[in-house]
Structure formats: structure tokens, C-alpha cells
Amino acid sequence: MTLVIAEQRGGVLNPATWETLAAAQQMNAPVTAAVVGARVQDTAAELAAADVAEVLAVEHEALEPYTPDGFVAALAQVVEATGPERVLFPHTYQTRDHAPALAARLGRVLIPDCIGSKDRDGQRVFVRPMFQGKFVADVLPEGPAPHFASFQIGAYRADACVRGAAAATVREVAVQLDAAAIRQRPEAPFKEAKQAVDLTQAERIVAVGRGIKGQEHLPLAQELAKVLDAELAASRPICDSGWLPMDRQIGSSGQTVAPKLYLAVGISGAIQHLVGMKGARTIVAVNKDADAPIFEVADYGIVGDLFEVVPAIVAALDGD
Amino acid sequence: MERETLDVDVLVVGGGPAGLAAAYRLARLNAEQGGEPLMVAVLEKARAAGAHMLSGAVLDPSALTDLMPDWKSRGAPLDVPVRDDRIYFLTARRALPFPVTPPPLRNHGHYVVSLNRLAKWLAEQVEAAGVDVFTGFAGTELLYEGDRVVGVRTGDRGLDRHGERKGTFEPGVDIRARVTVLADGVRGNLTKTLIRRFGLDAGRSPQSYAIGIKELWDVDPDRLPAGSVIHTMGHPLRHEEFGGGFIYALPEGRLSVGFVAGLDYRDPLFDPHVAFQRFKRHPLVSNLLAGGQMVRYGAKALPEGGWHALPRCHADGALIAGDAAGFLNSMRLKGIHLAMRSGMHAADAAFRAVREGDVSGARLSEYARLVEEGPIRRELYPVRNVHQSFAGGLLAGLLYSGMSLVTGGWWFRDPMPSHAGHERTRTVKRYFGGGVPPEPPGVPIDRALTFDRLTNVHYSGTRHDEDQPSHLLVADTDICRTRCIEEYANPCTRFCPANVYEIVDADAGAGKRLQINASNCVHCKTCDIMDPYQIIDWVPPEGGGGPSYEGM
């Protein structure tokens, strides 16, 4: 059995959970999903739409708000009670926070940030990138089950998660937690930057590069992002010049994203940028240089002046 | 915020072959001589030991054997003995083999190595011998008491690009030492300030440099047997340019392919990175690389001036070793063994000076005596004018080099006169005699055999925190967009092998401006050396930043 740990916050399911369920469904073993928190009945019901054997609703007052100690204690009990072959997580910040501690608590291996998995002679091998995506390594977990692994966001498609013919059963799982043993007391969440943006969650991204020429032309890209309901991002030179904040930078020194649509405007496609966005499902590039490497990864390419092409796209979409 | 301090007896700045050899020697002296052991520490700016080390490299193991006779049983990464030496003179299409390999280039008994692996292993030996190696810390300034060097201050961490403190700010540490051994590498930032402050290069020939650019390739293992060593002269360089190519074969089809170009070229439009790409397109090289994969990239300057360009290497409380001083034999294309040997001598001098409680420059001048009386002078003095003779062109250089094997390096004027390389670069107008300069020889970039700089940088594994002050200080960027653009056509955009310098359109159509992509920097130091106005100052970025060489 493969146990997938869903992530929810305030009753809202993190969509990366569907991607991890998709990964689990391809492993030729029954899948069970578990969702952890103080009140998770709604998210558990939402998860039950997936083609899974059952959904475990793990509720306890001490699990809200999130603390690594609370989650490690609860998940350790769930894992011990259900005895899965493997436990999978979406590779979110929260997973990075508690999954290593959980694996260590149970004395099991954790293979983080995977992008795939395969069966090799009956053994489950996990695939993960190394050296900034230059290489991929096949990793065979050793030691007794369960093995822990987390999946990079965007490695699987959320809509690849197979839905069940009927809703799966939701089973409540009781856990024993001692609130006094939780050593962390979270403060109210805050975002450091005023408009901090999590580009990894964006479904559509419009990214601008040096072809935009000057900060005064940025509204053009902003307009395009608006009509597409997309987030605005940029290549390094734009953020380096301070035209956009650094949290909008895509690439090896910025964020790695995998949206459904990535529209690269005036980006030549240096490899440092490509490693941050090549996982996007559909890549559209606008560049006046037909030899620009961005066209090697683009699904659709427009060779042309962005100052003509972008307004035309905006006009076409606005007319809808 | 309180600045922390740490007191040691001997501080070694730089975890390369010179610094690590010095540290290891000090640990051995502690063990052999008994008494209260000296406390020794090594500072290294790379995040991991060896990560900023790059060389060809063919190693003459003589110094290592003297430092550590049991290197073999300790698992030194000297796996591949040189089996075959070849030299070619390249024309645009052909490769003419030299009938005999000249004695200085015979590598029997030497090893094809990865310097970065060697340094990593050496750092392990040093740590096992009880010396602290602090990786991820760069020395940013020398500490003085009066005119005596008393240690090094490391760089602050957690400053943003405007120099303001971020939440993670931590002030640098003062490491106070009775003797500081500067082994901070070619054009070391601390050595540079020490030489200036005390005029340690007075009466010496100016140091000359070259830039080495290198890639590692994985090719069909049957192409070239491991241990093969190939050097080339000629194409794509012209008679007036110094340098050449190299191909060293490691096991399992891995080739170390590189190109060295003298940083004393006259043509302001010369581009070492393009020269390297053209070298790879020569049939001799492209046939070896065909179907293979480039897996790593890097670049580093190297000191070529030799004996006459060595500065005085001792001052009150300080010694200079390795490439920082210029201990490199450009006739044999080797410096690692001399770097190690100089580190060992520096360790001997420092050890005795600390034990006797006298760390004055006069007492530390024992280092100069050891260099004079030992194998370093024996090797460097006879070839003292070789590099300088190439200023007259390839043919003059070859003739003189051949002759020096017989004459012991004698010349009518000794030292043979020479100039700092950057002074030899001519203005576009002067070099091309007015008029429009011809289009320089370009090279098609196919990202299979040839690469643009930016793609190459990716393969150096270079990382810097983007939000930190630029570590390339350009004193006056107005010169770049007004004078330099006219006079030299911004040679920084060509001699930098990592796309750090770009001339871009200024905002609102106000002409051009210099764009510094400091986070691309591979720490080769070429800009500090070669800028014609000498207004670029390379200072260390936040500790840990820089390339991440593996197997280089």
C-alpha cells in the first residue's frame, strides 16, 4: 500500500497533493490518502473523489496550527497503524519541514524532491535531479519499509490523477497527542515581502526578459498577464536591474516552476533560465531572434517584435 | 554587533596546493619537533575544499613526495601516469607533430590529475593532522599593528546589494595570527594589497599572466588512452599571441580540454573564449570530441612571469606562497609542484620564527633563502627569460627557449625587459591604423561543440547569493561608456570568460552602460589583471560563493 500525505491549510487542499496522488497511482499498489489537521472532514471528502482505496482523516485539536512536532507525532502513529510500503509527500515547504524528522523518528530513508519513479525487477526506484537539473539519478531505497519520498511540484500533472467511479470511504483515525510535548508555538503567519508571490503555485505565467528593453515597458507585460489571469515573472537581468522583485525570478538562481502555460516574452533562453521552467506543460515564446535557444524548448514560437506581438495578443484576448 | 576574534599561531589564507602544503608541513613539524604545538588554521573562500581549484593538470610529484612520502598509501588521487607526450603545431586545417618532444615538456614520471580532487584530498589530510580548515570564509582585509601583519578579517555575511544589513547579517571574524601565510592564489586580493603597501615588487619585472579556459568532456573511451598528453601551438593564435591548447586524457573517456592565452595580447578585439572555441573546431580536437558531451567548464588566470617577476615574499608577520607570488614554470607549463614547495618553505620559516618569538620580516627572510638555495631557484632561474622572449613573437620565443636549454637562460639584457600585459593592449585606432576594424574571427555556436559564455558558466556550477554587494568594484563606470568604448571597444566583454561584463543600452535611450553580472563570476581574476585602465578591483564575494568545480 502506498500512503500519500495530503497537505491542507485552513481547510484548503494544496493542489500539489493531486500530483502526488497521480504519482502514487502509477505504482501498481493500492493507494491510501491521509489528511492531517484539526478539522479535515471537508478536505477528506474532496480527496475521496480520487481513485484511492480509502481516505484517512486524522484529526486532533493539537494539529492546528501546524507544528513539525505535532505532525511528526501524528504521522508516525498513522504510519505504524497502517503499515504502508511507502509514504509519499508533495515536496512543499511544510514537507521539507517535517518529513525528514518523521523519517528519522521511524529510522527510515527519505528520498526528497523526486521527479518520477519506476519499477525495476519488482523494486520501486525513485528518480531525482542532481546538479541543478543537469543529471537525473535513479535512487533505490535501502532498509526496511516504509520508504519515504517527496515529489517535486510539477513533476506530475494534477489532472493525471485518476478519479474513482464512486467516492472512496473516509475513515477517521484517532491519534494520541500530548500538547505539552509540542515544542513549537507558531506565531501568526506573515509574508516578508509585501506582495510575496508563490510562483510555483501559478497555473499560468507570463515571463519577461531583456527584450522588454526598459522598465517603462513593463506595463505591457503586466497587461498580458492580466488578460491571461497569469502571474508575472522574469529572467535574471530584469530582477537584477530591480525592475521586478527577486521573488519573481525564474531560473537556477530563482524559482523553479511548472505551470500549465508559460509565456516567455523577450527571453533568449539561457540554460540558467531553462532549468527553471522547462517543466511547464505548454511553453510559448515570443522573440525576435529566430536562433534564440528558447525556441528549442518552446511548443509554440512567434518570431517577431514583442512590441507588436504582445499588444496583438492582448487585443485578441480582450475581445473574448 | 560584537566582532568575534580567534587567535592562532599561523594562519594560512587559501586552501590550494600552496596553502595546504604549508598547513600540512606545519602539522608535521608540530609532531616531529615536540614542544607546545603551534595552532594552525586555513581559510578557504570556497564552500567546499577544492571547489575553486582548476588546472590542466599534469603533476610533477616531486614536492608531494617530499611533503608526504606515503601519499600513495594515503590514497592520493594520482591515478593516471603520463604514458605519451605529443606536441603539435596547428595550422588552420592541419596538425604538424613536433619530431621530438622538447625536454621541458617531457612528462615521464608525472601524472594527469584533477587539481580540485587533489586539493580536496590534501585538505582531508590536513584536517586529519589536526589543522582547522575553515571553508566558506574569504579573507577580505589584512589586519595590521603598525606595519606588521597580525592576521586577517573575513568578510561580512548577510549584506544586501546596497550594502545594507539583511536579517541574516553576521559580521566577519578577525583571525589574529603571529604569522600569516598568504596563499590566496593568482592575483590574490590580500597579496595585492600587501605588495602595494610595501612596494614588494620594486625592482622586479612586472608580473605577466595568462588565462586558462577549460572544459571536461566525456567521449568514447577508445578515442584516446588515459594518460595521453597533447599540447598545441599555433592556430587559432597568430604569431603575436602567446599561448596554446592542451588535451589530457583521464580514465573512462574523460578528456580535459583547455586553452591558455597570454594576457599580453596587442589586439584589443582578441577574445580568449572565442580562441578556445576555434581551437575545439580544429580537426585534431573536433575529431576527439565528436559525439561527446561537455560536462564541466571553468577558467583561471595563471602567473607566467617567472623568476624575475617574483615579488619579495616576506614582510613583518607575513609570507606569500604559490600562485599569489608567481611560483610557476611557464616553460614546463607547471606550477602545482612549485606552489607546494613554496608552501613547505614558508611553513619552515614560519615555524622557526614563531618558536623563536621573532616574526619580523628579517627573521622570515629565511623563506627567501630556502627558495634561493632549494629546488625552486634551480628550476626557475635557468628559464627566467623564457616567457619574456615570447613578447617578440612565437618564433623568437621558441628560438630563445631552445637556446636557453644550452645557455642556462643567459641573455644580453638580464632580466629581459618586459611590460605589464595590460599595457601592451593597443587602442582600436592604433592597432588597426584608423579606419573601421575588420570583423574579428567569430565562431558559430552550436551548443554541441562550441558554447556561448553564459551556457559555459552554467557548467561551472557557479553560485552566488544574488542579493549582495557586487564583488567587482569598477572605480569609474563613466570610463566604460565614454572612453573605453571608443578606445578599446570594452575588452572586458571579451576577456571575461563568464559573461560578467556586458555593455547594454542605458535606460531611456541614454547611450550605453556597463552591466556587471557579478553572480556569474568564476573567480579567475582576469578582469583585475587585464583591464587597460586598471580600474577593476576584484574583492571576495560573500564566503562560499563562486564556482563549484568537480573533477577539474
Is the separation of the CB atoms in A283 and A304 below 8 Å? no
Contact between chains at A293 and B447 (C-beta distance less than 8 A):
yes
At residue B60, does pLDDT exceed 60?
yes
Write down the domain spans for chain B. 5-70+117-157+168-204+311-383
Question: Do A131 and B461 count as a contact with CB atoms less than 8 A apart?
Answer: yes
Amino acid, res. B45: K
Residue ranges of domains in chain A, CATH in brackets: 2-181 (3.40.50.620), 199-318 (3.40.50.1220)
Lowest mean pLDDT across A140-149, A164-173, B51-60, B409-418: B409-418
Q: Which of B1-15, B290-304, B434-448 has the lowest mean pLDDT?
A: B434-448
pLDDT of B468-491, one tens digit each? 999 999 999 899 999 999 999 999
Give the mean pLDDT of A97-106: 96
pLDDT on residue B14: 98
- Per-residue model confidence (pLDDT) at position B11: 98
Asked, as a colleague might, if the bond just before B221 is cis with ω within 30 of 0, I would say: no
Helix-helix angle B115-128:B17-33, to 10 degrees: 20
Average pLDDT over every residue of A208-230: 94
Mean pLDDT across B111-128:
97
Distance CA A156, CA A169 (A): 25
Cα distances (Å, whole numbers) of residue B502 to A86, A173, B10, B290, B494 = 50, 61, 41, 31, 9
Contact yes or no for B263/B387 (Cβ under 8 A): no
Q: Is the pLDDT of residue A190 over 80?
A: no
Estimate the share of chain B in helix, then strand, then coil, as percent rounded to the nearest 5: 30, 25, 45
Task: Find all residues with CB under 8 Å of B259, minimum gap 6, and list them.
Answer: B212, B213, B214, B243, B244, B245, B246, B272, B275, B276, B279
CATH of domain B5-70+117-157+168-204+311-383: 3.50.50.60
User: B417 pLDDT exceeds 80?
Assistant: no
Instruction: Give the three-state DSSP class for B361.
Output: helix
Closest chain A residue to the Cα of B518, Cα to Cα: A240
- What the block records as the C-alpha cell of B385 is 627569460
| CA separation for the pair A111, B262 (Å, rounded) | 48
pLDDT, average across residues A312-319: 89
Which of A135, A216, A240 is most worth mutating to test chain B (most B CB atoms within 10 A of its CB)? A240
Contact A72, A177 (CB under 8 A): no
- Of A218, A213, A286, A278, the C-alpha closest to A251 is A278
Residues of B within 8 A of A253 (CB-CB) are: 463, 466, 519
Q: What is the pLDDT of residue B210?
A: 96
The predicted model gives A88-105 an average pLDDT of 95
The answer to whether A70 and A38 have CB atoms below 8 angstroms apart is: no
Tally of CB atoms within 10 A around B101: 17
Cβ-defined contact of B507 to A270 (cutoff 8 Å): no
Q: Which residue of B has its CA nearest to A272?
A: B458
Other Cβ atoms closer than 10 A to A22 = 21
Per-residue pLDDT of B500-516, as tens digits, reads: 999 988 876 678 999 99
The answer on pLDDT for B420 being more than 90 is: no
- Between CA B382 and CA B507 the distance in angstroms is 56
- In B68-185, DSSP assigns E strands to 80-81, 84-90, 95-97, 111-112, 132-135, 139-145, 148-154, 157-159, 165-170, 174-182
Identity at B524, one-letter amino acid code: C
Helix (H, G, I), strand (E, B) or coil at B134: strand
Encoded amino acid at A62, one letter:
A
Using 50, 70 and 90 to split pLDDT, how confident is the model at B130? very high
Report how far apart, in Å, the C-alpha atoms of A250 and of each of A59, A289, A294 are: 38, 21, 14
> Residue A128 has which C-alpha cell?
531525482
Give the three-state DSSP class for B539.
coil
Cβ contact A215–B466 (<8 Å): no
**Cα separation, A224 vs B484, whole angstroms:** 40
For A241, name the nearest residue in chain B, comparing CA atoms only: B515
Report the percentage of chain B scoring pLDDT > 90: 82
CB contact under 8 A, A271 and B458: yes
Cβ of B515 within 8 Å of Cβ of A215? The answer is no
Q: What is the DSSP letter of B415?
A: S
Nearest beta carbon to residue B455 from set A216, A246, A271: A271
Going along B31-83, which residue ranges are E strands?
40-44, 58-59, 80-81
Neighbours of B409 (CB within 10 A): 23
pLDDT band at A34 (very low <50, low <70, confident <90, very high): very high
The x, y and z cell numbers of residue B134, run together, are: 575553515
Report how far residue B118's alpha carbon sits from residue A153's, in angstroms, rounded to the nearest whole number.
Answer: 38
pLDDT over 70 at A193, yes or no: no
User: In whole numbers, what is the pLDDT of chain A averaged over residues?
Assistant: 92
CB contact, 8 Å: A132 with chain B?
yes
Q: What is the pLDDT of residue B508?
A: 65
pLDDT tens, residue by residue, B244-260: 999 999 999 999 999 99
* Pure H helices in B282-437: 283-289, 336-356, 361-364, 366-373, 375-380, 386-389, 394-407, 421-424, 428-431
Say yes or no for a CB contact (<8 Å) between A132 and B461. yes
Q: Which residue has the cell 490523477?
A: A161
Q: What single letter denotes the amino acid at residue A84? A: P
Please say whether the beta carbons of B318 and B179 come within 8 A: yes
Q: Is the N-terminal amide bond of B99 cis, ω within 30° of 0? A: no
- Chain A: residue nearest B162 by CA? A242
Tell me what percent of the residues of chain A surpass a pLDDT of 90: 80
Q: Give the pLDDT confidence of B313-339 residue by residue, as tens digits.
A: 999 999 999 999 999 998 899 999 999
Residues of chain B contacting A237 with CB distance shorter than 8 Å: 515, 517
Which carries the bigger pLDDT value, residue B405 or residue A308?
A308
Higher-confidence position of B218 and B414: B218
Determine whether B134 is exposed, middle or buried from the number of CB atoms within 10 Å of its CB (0-12, 13-18, 19+): middle
Over 70: is that where the pLDDT of A145 sits? yes
Average pLDDT, whole number, for chain B? 93
A240 has a chain B CB within 8 A of its CB:
yes
Distance CA B393, CA B389 (A): 8
Interface test with A, best of B452, B466, B504 (most A CBs within 10 A): B466
User: What's the confidence (pLDDT) of residue B410?
Assistant: 73
Give the model's pLDDT for residue B510: 75
ipTM above 0.90, yes or no: no
Cβ–Cβ under 8 Å, residues B345 and B323:
no
Contact list in B for residue A246 (CB cut-off 8 A) is 466-467
Q: Are B182 and B150 in contact (CB under 8 A)?
A: no
Do residues B74 and B126 touch, judged by C-beta distance below 8 A? no
Q: How far is CA B452 from CA A288, B256, B265, in A?
A: 19, 19, 22
More confidently predicted of B434 and B464: B464
Residue B481 to residue B489: CA distance in whole angstroms: 9
What's the pLDDT at A135?
77
